[in-house]
Amino acid sequence: MKKENKLVADLTSFDSNVLAEFIASLYGADTFLDSKIERLLLSKDTDKLTKLMKKEIASLKRSQGYIGYYESADFSNKISELHYEIENNILPKWPDKAFKLIEALLDTAENSLERCDDSNGDIGDAYQNICLLWLKAASMSSAPKSGWTNAVKLLAQDNDYGILDPLLPNAHMLLSEDELRQLAAYYENGLRASLTNKYDCRADFRWSVNLKGVAEALKDPTMYQQAMLLVSPSPNYIQMEDMAKFCIGCGAYDQAMKWLEGDWGTAQWDKPNATRLSLLADCYLGLNQQDKRRITLIELLDISPSYKNFQKILPLVSAGEAGQLRVKFIASVLKQSDSYAKLAPLIQLEEYVQAEEIAIKDIDKLANYSYTTLLSLLKLVPEDRHLIRIILLRCLLDDILTRAKTPAYNYGVDYLRELDQLDTKITTYATLPVHADYMLQVKGKHGRKHSFWSKYNTQ
């Protein structure tokens, strides 16, 4: 934000004619930028801007081209730009026109999501934001003859892609408490009828989810609980976690604690009891019962030795007890089988010698970690911890080159150049191959990836 404010301040110092000529010179270079310039020029003429927006939304609706993963961010920005123009330049002056535009924009979601790789969720997020704008615009617009409650009910029926997930939890932006409770009664009656018919468990789920959504809008833990228990009279630990979190979010700590009684046990890839203790500690925090919170957090650290859990305890114990807990925590970390579970807390505790030993020992395991996991580890390592950085940078570079991810070659070049720089600073590679030998290995395996090497050799 500071950088943006400085840019605005610098631009205001220019003569308006200079800026106008500069903007004109950009026109025609990029279709996305052209649209922004056209909308800027029409921002004072709401009628013409509305017509332009209708045209762009119609184009979005009928477009058929596939949008790959690496193009999805730009596409979501395009959708967000339309959102911005409607919200800021049309809605304040013409709410009814803005509402119709928002409905039309929301209607493009199915076509957009059907033809894109939205693995990162950017496009879905953009449409969820439009769903929230629908509520805002509706609250400023003329109500339909059948009323807004019915309009919300009809819209919520078509949520196959999850873009309307924010609708009911935020319906208080539009509906009164009485209207929300009428809507809740509709969903509860529908749920009970569906359960009686025993026809379609998916229908049961939809009725329950919608009832939960209204409960969120009302911040009503009893209603939320009812929506869950009607479908699952004996909830599993995931459902109990959901219920406890909702109660905590509503400040209903006593109700939350009812769901946190007893041991939740363990699962193959999960630690349910750690989750239970963490939520229980949150309840004690909300109830200002610090001694019980301290005891609970110590128990949590025993079964889930993470740096985050260790940090939670420190303000609640003496310096002497903190030292004892640190020693015990490190011992627990070193017993972990997962390399990340060992390395991350050791780096955060600045126990770099032990971290380096583990990184060298587990280098083959680290090489099989996902790119994002490796990157998250690298972000924890200070620049002066050369050996750990070298190990992680090599793993990241090998991952990019092995998978031949050409769109990521720029990142790979950055990693290799950092490895070049670290070679001039490091005093010992321990048992690792030195940089020259590593480079021979990389070129031996990936020497034919010419697009990568051309980028690397371009200084």
309-334 pLDDT, tens digit each: 999 999 999 999 999 999 999 999 99
Specify the number of domains making up the chain.
3
> Per DSSP, what are the bridge partners of residue 270?
267
- 211 Cβ contact partners less than 8 Å away, ≥ 6 residues apart: 184, 187, 188, 191, 223, 226, 227
Last residue of a domain, one of 131, 149, 170: 170
The pLDDT, as a whole number, for residue 30 is 66
> Per DSSP, what are the bridge partners of residue 67?
116
Same domain, 107 and 196: no
Same domain, 373 and 414: yes
CA torsion 114→117→123→127, rounded to 10°? 20
The pLDDT, as a whole number, for residue 263 is 87
Same domain, 152 and 32: yes
Last residue of a domain, one of 187, 215, 234: 234
- Full domain range(s) for residue 41: 22-61+75-170
User: What is the length of the chain?
Assistant: 459
Same domain, 180 and 161: no
Strands (E) across 116-241 are located at none
Burial (CB < 10 A; 0-12, 13-18, 19+), residue 177, is exposed
Phi, psi of 442 (to 5 degrees): -65, -45
Same domain, 151 and 224: no
Same domain, 152 and 187: no
The pLDDT, as a whole number, for residue 311 is 96
Same domain, 222 and 121: no
Opening angle at CA 113, ends 112 and 115, nearest 5: 70
Letter string b/e over residues 412-433, b meaning 16 or more CB atoms within 10 A of that residue's CB? bbebbebbeebbeebeebeebe
Q: What is the mean pLDDT of the chain?
A: 91
Residue 16 within any structural domain of the chain: no
From the centroid of its chain, how far is CA 365?
A: 27
The parts of the chain modelled with pLDDT lower than 70 are 1-6, 8, 10-11, 15, 18-21, 23, 29-46, 199, 268, 459
Contact (CB, 8 A) for 118 and 72: yes
Same domain, 135 and 43: yes
Query: How crowded is the C-beta side of 50, counted as CA atoms within 13 Å?
Result: 16
Stated pTM of the model: 0.77
Residue 10 within any structural domain of the chain: no
Last residue of a domain, one of 234, 257, 273: 234
Same domain, 130 and 200: no
Residue 116 within any structural domain of the chain: yes
Cα Rg, the chain, nearest whole Å:
28
The pLDDT, as a whole number, for residue 14 is 73
The pLDDT, as a whole number, for residue 459 is 64
